Each structure stands twice: as structure tokens, then as C-alpha cells.
Structure 1
Amino acid sequence: MDMGIGQKIRQAGESDREALERLVTEAFMDDPVSTWVFPDTEQRRAMNAPFFGVFIDTAFSEGRIDILEDGSAAALWLQIPAGEPDGDDDTGARMRAATDPDNERTEIIPRLTDAVHPHDRAHEYLLLIAVSPEHQGKGLGRALVAPVLERCDREGIPAYLEASSERSSRLYERLGFAFTQKPIELPDGPQMWPMWREPQGG
């Protein structure tokens, strides 16, 4: 599917893992939340791939990953059913084990986001969008999520995400997302913004 950006969007598979790890490493080097988790630049460059790799694993096993054919951008999605999830989420523990067992910040983010994640209605959950730095600001993120949001509108399904920067929250507002409540406050760190999108049109 070509969304007017000169290249096609396809669903990623396991053969794309190395490219995805390179992409998240570079895409989140200057991200406020990633910088808070790993303040040291060299550690962040080494840890971004295994840290976000937990999300990649989850999307491969439980959701989907849409990627541009040149690998410059990707979006990770999960379909969340209505109702409280069964059992405890071990995402934070896996992130800590995969990166730095001495860094408790690796576990804080999933714990805080889980606490506010709505579960009363089934929805599409955008785990993250990663766009390589040299292509940011060109509309690739918008193009990547547009097909899923169009399907949400056709099928009457809401969508949810947590924005990790004010810049990204403004993009999501233009796509129809709205803030659900007060921001998530990371201890001595930046904010994250839970955002919900009702199906539109029709």
C-alpha cells in the first residue's frame, strides 16, 4: 500500500528484526523518555535496541508491525480486548532484564502506563512509531498509521497510545487523538500523554 509517500507499507516479519532494532536505536536517541531511562548517550545507543526490542517481540507475537519498504519508519500495534487483562504484565521486568538490571527506570514506564491504560472497550493500541532521524518531519509517521485508523473508522473501533513528547502529541491530535487525563509524570523526568481516539466519520 502506497500512502502517497513514494513507497509501500508492508507488514514486517522476523527477517526484519535487525532493521527494526537499528531503526528504534536511532529514532529514540533524542526522545525525552528514552533519554530519561538511559541518560548516558553511549549507554542509550547500546540499550535502545534491547529495550524497545521487548515491544518488537510483543508486536510480533501478539500484534503487527507495519514498516516502510526502505525501513525508514515502522509502527507497532496491538489489538486490546475489552476487560481487565489476565495475570500480571511482565513487560517492565523483561525490559530491565534485557538492558540494565540495576536501572529501575526500565521498569517504571510500563508500570505507570499500565496503571492508566483503559480496558473498558476493545481498541487498537499504538505501542510506538519509529522514524529514522533523517526522515522525521516528512509525514511518514502519519502515513504509516493512516491505514489502521481508516480501518478503525470503518469498523467503529477506538485507538489508544501514550505520546512520549509534546511534538508527537501534536501529531496525534491532528490524527484525531485527544488527551484522556492528566499526563503521566515520570519521577524527576518528562511527561507522557495518554491519548484516545474515537472512530470518526460515518
Structure 2
Amino acid sequence: MGVGIRAAGEDDRELVVRLLDEAFQDDPVSGWVFPEREYRRTTHHRLMAAFTDIVLAEGRIDVTEDGTACALWLSMPAADDDGPDGGDGPDGGDGGDGPDEGDDAVRLRESVDPANARVEEIARLMAESHPTDRAHEYLWMIGVAPARQGEGLGSALVQHVLDRCDREGLPVYLEASSERSTKLYERLGFTYADRTLDIPDGPRMWPMWREPVTGRDRP
């Protein structure tokens, strides 16, 4: 039986935030941003809410029909293509070279956890490492309810967009936050980028890229 998938709307905001909060509580990057477990339990959802709001406004969120998994996507233009929204970057910023570059990372910290410099730092690191030479789809986050992990829901959500990208000839980019998750993405056709994203005094992330699969490339 296939997995039912639909596009999320504003009415799904609380569901998406809860899914991401639960799914990423023990994620290595979330643990670095919020090192104290109890503080993370009470504050982490604010960061997930900020990410959700950015993607609801600028991208697309897919959810399974049963509400147990979600995926956050952004369409990223090439650096020389302003696109319909002026070339929004993965931190919600404008991705340009003007004097306001990076200010969105500051605003993110101020809205989520003003005294926590790591909120701003992770936003800057991810934005600075993001490829800009080609237009692509960006899988920002994917969250599955802990009780439903390992059932293929995440793979179904990703494949749902990969099929469209293959038809449209679009590559896809993501940052895997654990070695375990890289195995899933490799099975879906992703390969490692040329370098890892090493967080200072923190965990490592694995940027991954997938070229579109054309008819002649399909098995």
C-alpha cells in the first residue's frame, strides 16, 4: 500500500512543528544548538517553528495523510537568477551581496533564543555552504514521528519530490545530520558533496547532491 501525501497549509503549522520537534530532539545538530537536555526540551520547538514559518511562506511542506511525517522543501535559484522571490536563501535570507546579507541569521536568533549564539551560527554555516551555481530543490528537513520511524515514510516523502525533479530535470541538495541518515539518501540516489560541513566544536554534517534521473539512466 502506498503512502498518502498532501501539501501542508497554515492549518498544519502546529502539526509540522510538533513532528519536527519530536523527530529532532536527539539529533546531533539540535543537541549542539541546545546542549542542555531540559533546556532543549522546552526551547527547541521555537527553532522548528521558525523553520516551519519560513518554508510555509517561501517553499512547500509535504505531510503524510496520517500526519506522522513531514518534509520541508525550498526551490533554490542559481546565484545569477533572482527568481520570483529575489533568490531566497536557506536561512530565509535574500542570498544577495548587499549590506543586509546574513541579517536573517541574527533575526532568527533574536526570535528563537536571543542569548544563544549557536542559533545564529548554524544558520550562517548552512547558508554559506549552500551550493549556488545551479538551480535545485533543497530538502531542508524531514521529520518522522519517533514511533513511526523505520517504516519507509521518510523515503516516500522524498521520492514524491524526486519523481517530479526527474521529470523537470532538477537536481536536489540536502545536508544529512547523521551518518545513519546518509544511508537512506544514498539509496535514493544522493552522493556526497566535495566536503563535509564541520560545526566548530560540534558534530559533522554531510552535504549531499542528487542529479536528476532521465529515462535512459533509469534501471
| Range of TM-score over shorter length | over 0.9
Q: Is the 8 A contact 2:169 2:214 kept in 1?
A: no
Taking a change above 3 Å as real, the CA distance of residues 94 and 54 of structure 1, as seen in their structure-2 partners, is: farther
Map of 1:4 onto structure 2: 2
Confirm whether residue 158 of structure 1 aligns to residue 181 of structure 2.
no
User: Could you give the per-residue CA deviations for residues 126-153 of structure 1, whole angstroms, max 9, x where no partner exists?
Assistant: 1100111111111110001111101111
Map of 2:24 onto structure 1: 28
Runs of 5+ consecutive residues of structure 2 not aligned to the other structure: 81-94
Q: Is the 8 A contact 1:125 1:161 kept in 2?
A: yes
C-alpha separation between the residues in 1 aligned to 2:11 and 2:36? 30
Q: Is the 8 A contact 2:50 2:112 kept in 1?
A: no
Map of 2:73 onto structure 1: 77
User: Could you give the per-residue CA deviations for residues 13-47 of structure 1, whole angstroms, max 9, x where no partner exists?
Assistant: 11111111111111111101001111112211222
Q: CA offset at residue 200 of structure 1?
A: 1.0
Alignment of structure 1 residues 30-179 onto 2, 5 Å = 30-83=26-79, 85-86=95-96, 87=98, 88-179=101-192
Q: Is the 8 A contact 1:50 1:95 kept in 2?
A: no
Q: Which amino acid in structure 2 is aligned with residue 49 of structure 1?
A: H
Aligned residues between the structures = 198
SS of corresponding position for 2:155: helix
Q: Which amino acid in structure 1 is aligned with residue 111 of structure 2?
A: A
Q: CA offset at residue 90 of structure 1?
A: 4.0
C-alpha separation between the residues in 1 aligned to 2:70 and 2:114? 28
C-alpha separation between the residues in 1 aligned to 2:21 and 2:137? 24
Confirm whether residue 182 of structure 1 aligns to residue 195 of structure 2.
yes
SS of corresponding position for 1:57: helix
Please tell me the root mean square deviation across aligned C-alpha atoms, in Å: 1.4
Q: CA offset at residue 91 of structure 1?
A: 4.2
Among the aligned pairs, what percent are the same residue?
58
